[in-house]
Amino acid sequence: MAEARLESLRTLETFEAALRRFAAIADSTVESATGRFRMRVEALGHGVRRAESEVDTLRGLLAGDAEGDEVETSFRLEEAEDRLERIRGHLRSVEELSEAYSRSASRFRSTTDQQLLVGLAELSRATDLIRHYHAVHFDEARPGSSQTVTAISANHIPAAAPVVRSADDLPSGFVWIPIDQIEQSEFDTVDSFPKIAEEDMRQGLQLLKAELLPFLATFRGSSVQSALAEEDRRAGRQPPVSLLEVYHAFFGRQDYVYLTRGRHDTHFRVTNGRHRIKVAKELGWAAIPGQLKDLRADG
């Protein structure tokens, strides 16, 4: 049964990755076509200017009675004027096509962005459900095994914790994990932040405390990620410090904080989220939201 759930989870994660790749390819294709239109318009505009310059020169020769064959100059002028009109006509056609494409591309992007958010939200809901179900039953083969995911609640977290809330206010499968119960040597090797700048991570944690957690505690809609994206748009937030990015970092499909503790261990070991926990500790937090596997509690 566990293997079936994990296979379903992998399938959904693969589908999500494919959906994101489609969105990236579609966006790249639109950008590429827009760029080609822009380059063609610029090239034709340059051609128009050159043709205009040639026409002006020939007209000047005829007006000034310059030495030479007046008939030949008139013939060359007529050709140059015809060429100028053809280039101008081509430019107008390309500009009209470019404007029509831009309008269609804008509608396409709006539709795909909206549907992408809906699709990713549904995938997130499904993967979160499977992951939560798997977490609650990770020791289902042992009769009488306790369900560790709900074992650490607000009652076990120091009252001084500045962001402690009941585990009921966190997404399904997540709990508050006391930082003082984490093996402190885990942070000795954290001396660089290769993925996200330390200051951005610090701001992200503050955003988690000040806005994301209160938002999640009161949200009653069907698509939290769409709602967060809209909140970010209204506030002008950009990744990596945005509600949606912080949500992905703490409650997303595969990058959340995850800890384990063996039957004979006194402290938790960090499987994922070492940098976030270190920054939270520096901010004075007593606990951090995440998921865990606590064999000691089961023992």
How much is the pLDDT for 299? 57
pTM, 2 dp: 0.47
What is the Cα–Cα distance from 67 to 80, expressed in whole angstroms? Answer: 20
Residue predicted with more confidence, 63 or 66: 63
Please say if the pLDDT value at position 11 is more than 90. no
Provide the 10 A C-beta neighbour count for residue 168. Answer: 9
What average pLDDT does the segment 35-47 reach? 90
**Most confident range, picked from 106-110, 155-159, 219-223:** 219-223
**Of 156 and 32, which is predicted with more confidence?**
32
91-100, 120-129, 133-142, 198-207: which has the minimum mean pLDDT? 133-142
Confidence of residue 52 (pLDDT cuts 50, 70, 90): very high
Instruction: Tell me how far apart the alpha carbons of residues 144 and 140 are, in angstroms, rounded to a whole number.
Output: 9
pLDDT level of residue 147 (50, 70, 90 thresholds): very low
Phi, psi torsion values for 258, nearest 5 degrees: -140, 130
Q: Percent of the chain scored above 90 by pLDDT?
A: 38
Quote the strand ranges of the chain, DSSP E: 175-178, 258-261, 269-272, 287-294
pLDDT for residue 128 is more than 80? no
- Euclidean distance between CA atoms 62 and 60, whole angstroms: 5
The CATH class for the domain spanning 2-136 reads mainly alpha
Nearest to 289 by CA among 159, 172, 199: 172
User: Over 80: is that where the pLDDT of 238 sits?
Assistant: yes
Determine the pLDDT at residue 283. Answer: 93
Question: Where do the structural domains in the chain lie, given as residue ranges?
Answer: 2-136, 148-298
- Dist CA 296 CA 293 (whole Å): 9
Dist CA 288 CA 154 (whole Å): 11
pLDDT of residue 61: 84
pLDDT tens column, 268-280: 999 999 999 999 9
Higher pLDDT, residue 12 or 104: 104
> What single-letter DSSP state applies at residue 293?
E
The whole-number pLDDT of residue 199 equals 95
Omega prior to 143 cis, within 30 of 0: no
Q: What is the pLDDT of residue 179?
A: 92
Least confident of 4-18, 30-44, 50-64, 188-202: 4-18
Q: How many other CB atoms sit within 10 Å of the CB of residue 214?
A: 12
Local confidence band at 118 (pLDDT 50, 70, 90 cut-offs): confident
Q: Which residues contact 267 (CB under 8 A, 6 or more apart)?
A: 181, 182, 183, 184, 261
pLDDT reported for residue 173: 85
Q: Residue 221 above 50 pLDDT?
A: yes
Average pLDDT, the chain: 79
Confidence class of residue 141 from pLDDT cuts 50, 70 and 90? very low
Taking 90 as the threshold, does the pLDDT of residue 155 lie above it?
no
C-beta of residue 108 within 8 angstroms of C-beta of residue 31: no
> What DSSP line would sit under 227-291, residue for residue?
HHHHHHHHHT--TTSSHHHHHHHHHSSS-S-EEEE-TT-SSBEEEE-HHHHHHHHHTT-SEEEEE
* Contact yes or no for 41/95 (Cβ under 8 A): yes
Question: Which has more pLDDT, 77 or 136?
Answer: 77
86 pLDDT band (50/70/90 cuts)?
Answer: very high
